[in-house]
Every structure is written in structure tokens, then in C-alpha cells.
Chains A and B, each alone.
Chain A
Amino acid sequence: MAEVEIRAVSKAFKSRTGTTQAVSGLSLTIGHGEFVALLGPTGAGKTTTLRLVAGLEAPDNGSIRIDGRDVTGEAPADRDVAFVFQQYSLYPHLTVFENMAFALRAPTRRVPEAEIRAKVEQVARLLHIEAKLNNKATQLSGGQMQRVAIGRALVRSPAIYLMDEPLSSLDAKLRGEMRLELKRIQTDLGATILYVTHDQTEAMTMASRIGVIEAGRLMQIGTPREIYENPVNAYVAARLGQPAINLLPADIFAGVPHGARTIGARTEHLTIARGGGAVCATVTRIEHLGDQSYLHLDLGGQPVVTLSDPEAELRAGDAVSLGLRNPLFFDAAGRRLAA
């Protein structure tokens, strides 16, 4: 395990239709034993960043250091990294054991066969797949496949594990289980992980720090709490929170700081009272999710979504008054303003 440093890295892809700037001037340091999640939508440059660290792509500018060594020009095999792909991560023509042993059997590594067997069996126990070792990779369920894919990386002890949405092809229940398990394994091994996801829950629950990426730029990096409570701009604020933050025009409410154009209001920033008030809204719909309810409001044509107390007994068509409680303010460019 080691420290990985990405310094001002840029990468553009040229195609017939033009040039796409996938990553621009991205700098990030992943400390020893740290779990960093890169969060962003599809096409934001998360996967490209991961591939740059792995050496599957060469950066146009900038450098990558692993444990203080500049690896920018090195082949993937020489970088001492392990990669878990989103899918296609197992070789269908090999058994589970052979899949997991594949990296250790690389000609350059020359690990004795007895040691390979011991290591694979140890990791298989860690992932609870020891009974499946002699199965063909194609005979596994989705969850087992993804365990094996993670196991393929775990049999090595690389400087860093690079994971590209490893849980996104699993169903919701399995994803929840694997999240816990992956975090447990990371803590047990003290592994350094750079983890790419578009799922805010994965980022929030597993990462020690989250980096929010948009259009190839790192918008903000910080602990999940920092990112949630102190987003630097409206974009980062919109990435986290369920239901998503309500971005409302500043002139709806009184007492807004000078220069604020947008108010960012999450559920905890909104107070709702029955009947009319200074700021009035109409209930348009209530979604009951069991333990909680999504309350959809119409605020002078502006939709607002918040959580409602199931006991509030509001109905569609009811009038409510809205109030603010320490919301976030953003200027015309979307930058955060001090309240």
C-alpha cells in the first residue's frame, strides 16, 4: 500500500467529430490506506482518471506518482496497481480459481504454485466464495461474479486498488450487502482504494474522502460530511442528498445575503407549516416510501421536493407555508456564498 499522487493531469480524446476533453488539470492525492471515491455523472471523466492511474491511457499533460515514483511513462504491468472493472471482469474460459490466480501466474511474477493456492484460498474465504473455486466463471450469480472480480484484485497486494463502479451491475439488495463487505475488507486490509461511482450512497458510506468530478474537473474533495454540508458550489450540492437539493430563485424569500441568486434548500433547511404564510406553496403529490414520504410542492410554478413526516397527514391540494432554516446560498456563477 502506498500514496498515490495525481498531478495536474489532462487527457483529451480525438475523434472524427472533434476533440473531447475528458480530464483537465486534475490533481488528487490518495493517502496510504485511504478510500477515495470519485463521484460524478456518466461522462464526467471518472473512468478516464482511473485508466490514467492504471496506465491504460497516457496523459497529455501532468504526471502520476505511486509511492513517490513517477510512473507516468510506465506500462500497466509495471505500476503495481489492481483494477476492478464494472463488467467483463472474469475470463469465461477459466474457473473461479484460475481467474483469481491469473494475476499471480503472470510470467513476470513467478509465484510458486503452492503459494498461489494458499493466497487464492485465503481471499476466497474472505469473500465467502471458497465453495465455488472449481466452478466455471460463467456458472456464478451476479453477486458471486463481482466477488470473484474483487477477489482477483485482492490476491495481489498492489500499491492501490482501482475500482470502476464494481457494484453498479448488481441489484439493490446485493449492492447494499457488497458495500458493507467491501468496506469491511478495506478496513481489515488497510487497503488504498480509488473508487469511481455515480452512486452517492456508495460514496457516502464507504469513502473516507469524496472527490466530486464534473466535465473533467475536480470540483471539490473532502470528507463525505464536508461535501454534504459545505459544498463549494451548486453543482456539488446537487450531487448529494436524497431527495436532491432544491435550487430556488433567491428573490422568493426575504433576508437573502447580497449577491445571492440561488438558494439551495435540502429537507433539513425547510420548515413546513399548514396554511398560508409569507411564502405559500401547494402540495401536488405525496409519494409514500414506507418509512418516509416525498412531498412534492408547487412554489409559484417552481417544483420543490422534500421529505415529510408521515404523520403530517397532508393531501394533494393543501396549502402550506414554507420557511428557511440556514440554507445554502449561491451566486450567479453557482459559487457558494457565506450566509
Chain B
Amino acid sequence: MTVAAHSVVDPTPRTRRFAGALVIVYAVITMIPLAWIFLTSFKSPDDAISYPPKIIFQPSLEGYCNLFTTRSRQTPDFIQTLGPPQGMCDDIARSRNMVIAGPSNYLPRFVNSLIIAFGSTVLAVALGTLSAYGFSRFRVPLKEDLLFFILSTRMMPPIAVAIPIYLMYRAVGLSDTRLGMILLYTSVNVSLAVWLLKGFIDEIPREYEEAAMIDGYTRFQAFVRVVLPQATTGIAATAIFCLIFAWNEYAFAVLLTSGNAQTSPPFIPIIIGEGGQDWPAVAAGTTLFLVPIVVFTVLLRKHLLRGITFGAVRK
């Protein structure tokens, strides 16, 4: 019997196939719900709730139309008196004896989500980078205790402080404002940002800044010109983590926002159609909701893959 030569450290073909199969199974399990939501967003309301579920169906944009519009029911006689339909969505609405009454709240909620999630991410990463640099480079009194305190803010579920925050926000006029939500998500994320980024900045040799400072730069200029470019991996990874949290956050958003500053997560599930939940519209809202995170992650994926090791093997 001949044994093919193989390296001791490299996995054997069998291990490799097994690992590959495991990854594929896991990917399928996680992708099916997403695929189902995506398919549902193109179904008609009847197809969406039909049993057994339909995999082959006539695709329709009704879900997307319903997502962005509000409609009112009219008599067929009244609809006859109107002029020709204004576009595709109007056509779909009329086929169900309805007319479009105006835009829905989805777009403003989506814009709120963008402003709040990106705003808090930028703020958390900026504050996190500066404090991580300070903790990494300077002799800070009680450094260890302060770092532990920062970490300890994540030890309880954030929702445990929801009621005090609700009362505080009402008192200072921050409830249902974008600024309030940005500040809230920033305060939750900044501890994560400080700890992640401190690891990355610790890895950057001090000699780089010292060389710059001897060469005529101030410490801040050295930080901007030398430390930041080398911390991009860590900053990108941290930004993605912060953005995912702020984008998906549901509990605080339900509690603290109602109209002005409501984000997409509390809005999507309450899209009501005629006679109950409008599932294609909900699915359409969810599908569109996924897009910014996917785009952001794809744009930064090169950094994320290197950053996921938390700076352990940077060189």
C-alpha cells in the first residue's frame, strides 16, 4: 500500500472535505431564512401566506409598492372615474380596488436608521480611538481600574437600564430625538471600541511616533500621520461591529422612539396590510434593511478579515 506524502501540519484531504462540508451545511442553514425573506418580498400577499408554502410563484413588486406607500380602499365605480394609473404601483393598487393615498413612513425611518447608526458609529470609533491611544501610550492614573470600569459597562444587558434612561431622556428632552439615539448607541459601543482599538494600538510600535516627534511633528500630528494609517485595520473592524449593533438595535428603539426618530427595526414588523400583517411588505422592508450593512461590510471586508484576529498576528 502506498501512502501519499503529506505534511504533518496541513490538513489531510479527508479533514479538508469534512471541514468544507461543515461550512457548506452551516452556510445553507444561515442563508435559508435570508433567502426566504428575499423570495417573500416578491410574492403577492396571498402567495406569502399560502400553505403549503410556494417556492415557484409569479413574482410581483406589490410588497415593495406597499412598503413605500399608504393606500385607501375605494369602490370600483370611483376608481373608474379616475384617469389612467400613475405608474406600476398605482396599477397594482387599483387591481385590488385601492388608490395610493401617499408615501409611507418607511423612507424616513430608513433615513433615521442611517443617520443614527452611522452617526453613533463615527462617534464611538472616534472617541474609542482617542481614548485607546491615551490608554495605550500614557501613564494614566488608575489605568487598570478605568479600563475595567469601561469594560464593566457591558457586563449587564443594556436593556436593564432602559427605564432609568427613558426617564432621564424624557427629563432632558432627548427622547424620540436622533441625537438622543446617537448618544445612547455611542455610549454602548464606545466601551467595545476602546477595548478593541487598544489592542490594535498596543501593537503599533511607539518608535513610529517617537521618530515622527523627533522629525519635527507634534504628538497629535504624529498620531494622525503615523498611528491612524497603521490602525486602519482595527478601526475598520471596530466600525463594523459598532455599526451592526446600532443598525440592528431593537429594544431601546422601541422604547425611546415613536415618531420623529424611530428607526427601521421597530417600524418594519408593524407594517399592517388589509386584514393583518402585510408579509411581502415586511419582507421587502427587511431585504432593503440588509443592504447598507452588506455594502459596508463588503467595502471593508479586506480589513475585517485581517482585523478579526484582534491584532494578534498583525505582522
User: B-contacting residues of A (Cβ < 8 Å)?
Assistant: 54-56, 75-77, 79, 81-83, 85, 87-89, 91-93, 102-103, 106-109, 152, 156
Is there contact, CB below 8 Å, between A88 and B207? yes
CB proximity of B105 to chain A, nearest CB, Å = 45
The dominant DSSP class at the B interface is helix
Is there contact, CB below 8 Å, between B218 and A85? no
Known: A75-B213, A83-B214, A89-B211. 19 other contacts (CB 8 A): A54-B214, A56-B214, A76-B210, A76-B214, A77-B213, A82-B214, A82-B215, A83-B210, A85-B210, A87-B207, A88-B207, A88-B208, A89-B207, A91-B229, A93-B230, A108-B216, A108-B217, A152-B215, A156-B215
14 A-B pairs (CB sep. < 8 Å): A54-B210, A54-B214, A75-B218, A77-B215, A77-B217, A79-B214, A83-B210, A88-B208, A91-B226, A103-B216, A106-B215, A106-B216, A106-B217, A107-B221
Complex CA–CA separation, A152 to B207 (angstroms): 14
Q: Identify the closest chain A residue to B216 (Cβ).
A: A106
Interface string of B187-217 (1 = CB under 8 A from A): 0000000000000000001011011111111
Cross-interface CB contact of B214 among A81, A93, A109, cutoff 8 Å = A81
Cross-interface CB contact of A85 among B211, B221, B226, cutoff 8 Å = B211
Complex CA–CA separation, A82 to B208 (angstroms): 13
Which B residues are CB-close (under 8 A) to A109?
216
Q: Identify the closest chain A residue to B212 (Cβ).
A: A102
Interface residues of B in 200-254 (CB under 8 A from A): 205, 207-208, 210-218, 221, 226, 229-230
Complex CA–CA separation, A55 to B215 (angstroms): 12
Complex CA–CA separation, A75 to B205 (angstroms): 20
Which B residues are CB-close (under 8 A) to A89?
207, 211
Which B residues are CB-close (under 8 A) to A85?
207, 210-211
Is there contact, CB below 8 Å, between B216 and A91? no
Complex CA–CA separation, A88 to B216 (angstroms): 18
CB proximity of A321 to chain B, nearest CB, Å = 54
Is there contact, CB below 8 Å, between A93 and B229? yes
Which A residues are CB-close (under 8 A) to B230?
91-93
Q: Identify the closest chain B residue to A93 (Cβ).
A: B229
Which A residues are CB-close (under 8 A) to B208?
88, 91
Complex CA–CA separation, A79 to B214 (angstroms): 8
Complex CA–CA separation, A196 to B28 (angstroms): 61
Complex CA–CA separation, A64 to B269 (angstroms): 71
8 A-B pairs with the lowest CB-CB distances in the bound complex, closest first: A106-B216, A103-B215, A88-B205, A88-B207, A93-B229, A76-B214, A83-B214, A77-B216
Which B residues are CB-close (under 8 A) to A106?
215-217, 221
Which B residues are CB-close (under 8 A) to A156?
215
Complex CA–CA separation, A55 to B212 (angstroms): 13
CB proximity of B210 to chain A, nearest CB, Å = 5
Q: Identify the closest chain B residue to A149 (Cβ).
A: B211
Which B residues are CB-close (under 8 A) to A102?
212, 215
CB proximity of B41 to chain A, nearest CB, Å = 43
CB proximity of B98 to chain A, nearest CB, Å = 58
Which A residues are CB-close (under 8 A) to B226?
91
Complex CA–CA separation, A109 to B226 (angstroms): 18
Complex CA–CA separation, A92 to B208 (angstroms): 10
Cross-interface CB contact of B210 among A56, A91, A103, A108, cutoff 8 Å = A56
Which A residues are CB-close (under 8 A) to B214?
54-56, 76-77, 79, 81-83
CB proximity of B21 to chain A, nearest CB, Å = 38
Of listed B205, B211, B229, residue having the most chain A CB within 10 A:
B211
Which A residues are CB-close (under 8 A) to B218?
75, 77
Which A residues are CB-close (under 8 A) to B221?
106-107
Which A residues are CB-close (under 8 A) to B217?
77, 106-108
Which A residues are CB-close (under 8 A) to B205?
87-88
CB proximity of A158 to chain B, nearest CB, Å = 9
CB proximity of A36 to chain B, nearest CB, Å = 19
Complex CA–CA separation, A103 to B214 (angstroms): 8
Complex CA–CA separation, A205 to B229 (angstroms): 40
Complex CA–CA separation, A54 to B226 (angstroms): 19
Which B residues are CB-close (under 8 A) to A92?
230
CB proximity of A300 to chain B, nearest CB, Å = 50
Which B residues are CB-close (under 8 A) to A107?
216-217, 221
Complex CA–CA separation, A88 to B210 (angstroms): 11
Complex CA–CA separation, A82 to B213 (angstroms): 10
CB proximity of A271 to chain B, nearest CB, Å = 50
Q: Identify the closest chain B residue to A155 (Cβ).
A: B215
Complex CA–CA separation, A103 to B226 (angstroms): 12
Which B residues are CB-close (under 8 A) to A82?
214-215
Complex CA–CA separation, A106 to B212 (angstroms): 9
Complex CA–CA separation, A77 to B205 (angstroms): 19
CB proximity of A78 to chain B, nearest CB, Å = 9
Complex CA–CA separation, A57 to B229 (angstroms): 26
Which B residues are CB-close (under 8 A) to A83?
210-211, 214
Q: Identify the closest chain B residue to A99 (Cβ).
A: B211
Q: Identify the closest chain B residue to A78 (Cβ).
A: B216
Complex CA–CA separation, A254 to B218 (angstroms): 65
Q: Identify the closest chain A residue to B228 (Cβ).
A: A93
